[in-house]
Amino acid sequence: MKRTIIDASQLELNDNVVAIKRVSKTVKGGRTMRFSALVVVGDGNGHVGAGLGKAGEVPEAIRKGKEAAAKNLVQVPVDENQSIPHDILAQFGSASVLMKKAPEGTGIIAGGPARAVLELAGIKNVRAKSLGSNNKTNVVLAVIEGLTQLKTPEEYARLRGKSVDEIVG
């Protein structure tokens, strides 16, 4: 898994709150309520990240989630028709996400958590199916895991010591 550190201060990041959960902890005096926010950030140009923020109030949890997501940015290869370079099945925990390359004009065919990540990554044409667990956090992290595993034809050609024409056909 290649995770390159990207300086988020130079990017114009958009954010999307995927999920907000109310969580409670039972203590001697009763229950303490807190909030957990799953936030995805991206520049729409091949950079995307996800973060989880937890706080006593929703706006603070969202702010913390944005900061965490900006620290975890990954770079995503996008091909000439704004799709992914190849099909991939990615897993995180028990969540699996199948992402398939799609021709121009297809749009993003994906469920909620996967759609948020793919939109903010700048991918315009892709088909995705969430398999296994439908836990939003694990689905988002599975999509990001899959996007980090993608390689361009140039990378495959360099790894195999061939030209791009031999790889693509």
Is the pLDDT higher at 6 or at 4?
6
Cβ contact 123:102 at 8 Å: no
* Domains of the chain, first to last: 8-74 (3.30.160.20), 76-160 (3.30.230.10)
pLDDT of residue 153: 83
| Each residue's pLDDT tens digit, 15-24 | 999 999 999 9
Cα–Cα nearest to 92, from 141, 147, 149, 144: 141
| Each residue's pLDDT tens digit, 129-163 | 999 999 999 999 999 999 999 988 888 888 888 88
Cβ contact 62:46 at 8 Å: no
pLDDT of residue 162: 86
| Each residue's pLDDT tens digit, 36-81 | 999 999 998 889 999 999 999 999 999 999 999 999 999 999 888 8
Residue 30 has pLDDT above 60, yes or no: yes
pLDDT of residue 20: 96
pTM: 0.89
Using CA atoms, how far apart are residues 66 and 71, in angstroms rounded to an integer? 9
How sure is the predictor about 2, in pLDDT bands with cuts at 50, 70 and 90? low
| Each residue's pLDDT tens digit, 85-141 | 999 999 999 999 999 999 999 999 998 899 999 999 999 999 999 999 999 999 999
Task: Determine how β-strand 108-109 pairs with β-strand 126-132.
Answer: parallel
